[in-house]
Amino acid sequence: MTPPFQKVLIANRGEIAVRVIRGCHELGIRTVAVYSEVDRTALHVRNAGEAYLIGPAASAESYLVGERIIEVALRSGAQAIHPGYGFLSENAAFAQMVLNAGLVWIGPPPSAIDAMGSKTGARQRMIAAGVPVVPGTAEAIASEAEALVIAERFGFPVMLKAAAGGGGKGMRRVDRAEDFASAWRSTRSEAAKSFKDDAVYLEKFVEDPKHIEIQVLADAHGHTVHLFERDCSVQRRNQKVVEETPCAVLPEATRKAMAKVAVQAAEAVGYVGAGTIEFLFSQATGEFYFLEMNTRLQVEHPITEMVTGVDLVRAQLRVAAGEPLWFAQGDLHQTGHAIECRVYAEDPANNFAPAPGKISGLREPSGPWVRVDSGVYAGYEVPIHYDPMVAKLVCWGANREEAISRTIRALREYRVRGIRTSIPFFTAILRDADFQAGTYSTGFLSPERMEKLTEGARNDRIATIAAALAQFEADTRPARPAGSGASASAWKRSGRPGAGR
């Protein structure tokens, strides 16, 4: 098969850049990486066929400078740009610039990004397309007085949301009329500060919902398919932590209805490529509501790949080159169960504060049906400038129980030394009764539960013994510790991994 492109530039960093580079190489496409000054040693730079410096550490001066990225693409002879997620991936103006430069944009048409980019605009579009949305104002609200009247009509609690917001920022829950004025003011000012747009709208708060999303894939010839759902309800500070597919408690009829609506939504904006429609699902009423569309590849796309057998990056590349989808809806099935854990460089013992630093030792899990999409390696210094997610652990099982126990097994093998990570926290989540029941909602990781899970993960007695041994050795060391160096083989290290826990 001829490759869809000869050369592709990946306008991103970290694990997703590595993931896209892999997809390209498997198709015989040469790759061009771009990097900031602090990312010279990053894995994506070292894995790509070519790599070019585009500016200083700050994203605003490197990964967000569209002109420079396009210049590198043209100079290196790349034919297309893959934006990954984050950075410029949902920037319609950049997508248009790419097209204007005569390059292929591996993503949806700028008009589709635009249509879904504003939350209020997207709501209006979706209402027109017959897609259910959370009861709320389709447009930004002009005044506080007007907003309060609407809030009282829907009934508290309500959510105030920045029209230009995203990523969990610029939203606020209001439970009582007397709290409304201050919440209105702070949401407006936060919106103005974070998104340079103080437009705010209001939605009814759906009590205890699940966050369910549907993966869609469309070609440029009018075919749109869905690749089923992902349950992304395990969230902290509105950031996803653990995802799984299928959702353990979604009725089949609802799954079908949701998927149908997702395809409708994508078609309504002329979507091309891979995209995701996010929904809130109320377990109490069985109803679901459109939340937003992400017009790019998602972080959690691998779990969909694991259960459908479809390589989404490969599909993106082929669809962007103008190929029609090579499968129909009827060819797609969910087989087994997949779970993803997002490994963050964060300190579970210190309120999950970012914990960048040098990774002194790394052992990634392996074995049957275990996949690690990582952007780091032993000896790598995790920089302070970017997102704290460093890797994703994805495990597949023939059923949910198998997927959970396999993930726990893999987490036990996972060692990241020198920095703190969220790894031990996942084992506690996966063993939690509400997680195992599958009924957990987006409120699952409450501060109380977080504390309980974190407490369960620590073992101060063993840490004390290890610290005493380390200090004793340092104070009495004649030369090198016995057994160090060349004998550090994997079989020896895995010989005694804390058996029985």
Partner 1 sequence: MTYEITIGDETRVVDISRRKDGLFDVRWGNEAHVVDLVRPTPDAFQMLIDGEGWEAGAVRTSDGWLVDVMGFATAVEVVDPRRKALRLGTAAAGGSITTKMPGRVVRLLVAPGSPVKKGEPVLVVEAMKMENELKSPIDGILVELFVTEGQTVETGAKLARIE
User: Token match 């105030």: residue?
Assistant: 160
Closest-CA residue to 280 (of 265, 268, 294, 292): 292
- Cite the beta strand spans of 178-247 per DSSP E: 200-204, 209-218, 224-236, 239-245
B/e letters for 47-68, b = 16+ CB within 10 Å, e = fewer, are: bbebbbebbeeebeebbbbbeb
Report the phi/psi class of residue 155: left, alpha or beta, with left for phi > 0 and alpha for psi in -120 to 50: left
- Adjacent-strand bridge partners of 136: 203
The residues binding partner 1 (CB under 8 A) are: 345, 347-350, 353-357, 360-361, 384-388, 411-412, 414-421, 423-424, 427, 457-472, 474-476, 481-485, 487-488, 492-493, 495-501
Q: Which residue, 446 or 459, is less far from partner 1 as judged by CB?
A: 459
Residue 311 vs 381, nearer CB to partner 1 = 381
Q: Assess contact for 386 and 14: CB atoms under 8 A.
A: yes
Compare residues 196 and 501 and give the one whose CB is closer to partner 1: 501
**Distance (Å, whole) CA 256 – CA 258:** 5
Phi, psi of 143 (to 5 degrees): -130, 160
Nearest approach, Cβ of 406 to partner 1 (angstroms)? 16
Q: Which of 123, 296, 371, 406 is catalytic?
A: 296
Residue 16 tokens read as: 């997703």
Contact present, 272 and 456 (Cβ < 8 Å): no
336-348 CB burial, b ≥16 within 10 A, e <16: bbbbbbbbbbbbb
Residue 334 CB, nearest approach to partner 1 (Å): 30
Cβ closest to partner 1, residue 100 vs residue 484: 484
Q: Strands 30-36, 7-10: parallel, antiparallel or unpaired by DSSP? A: parallel
* 255 in active site: no
Number of neighbouring beta carbons within 10 Å of residue 153: 10
The owner of tokens 């400038």 is 385
Rank residues 273 and 365 by Cβ distance to partner 1 and give the closer one. 365
End-to-end CA distance of the chain: 48
Cβ distance to partner 1 smaller for residue 237 or 256: 237
Q: Which of 138, 119, 117, 139 is nearest to 127 (CA)?
A: 138
Nearer to partner 1, 138 or 457 (CB): 457
The helix, strand and coil proportions of the chain, stated in percent and rounded to the nearest 5, come to 40, 25, 35
d(CA 18, CA 101): 25
CB 191 within 8 A of CB 162: yes
269 touches 111 (CB < 8 A): yes
In angstroms, give the least distance from the CB of 460 to partner 1: 5
Paired tokens of 80: 């297309």
CB of 493 to partner 1, least distance (A): 5
Which of residues 400 and 409 has its CB atom nearest to partner 1 in the complex? 409
Q: Are the C-beta atoms of residues 147 and 185 closer than 8 Å to each other?
A: no
Dihedral sign, CA of 148, 153, 157, 161? negative
279 φ/ψ angles, rounded to the nearest 5 degrees: -130, 155
Residues identified as active-site: 296
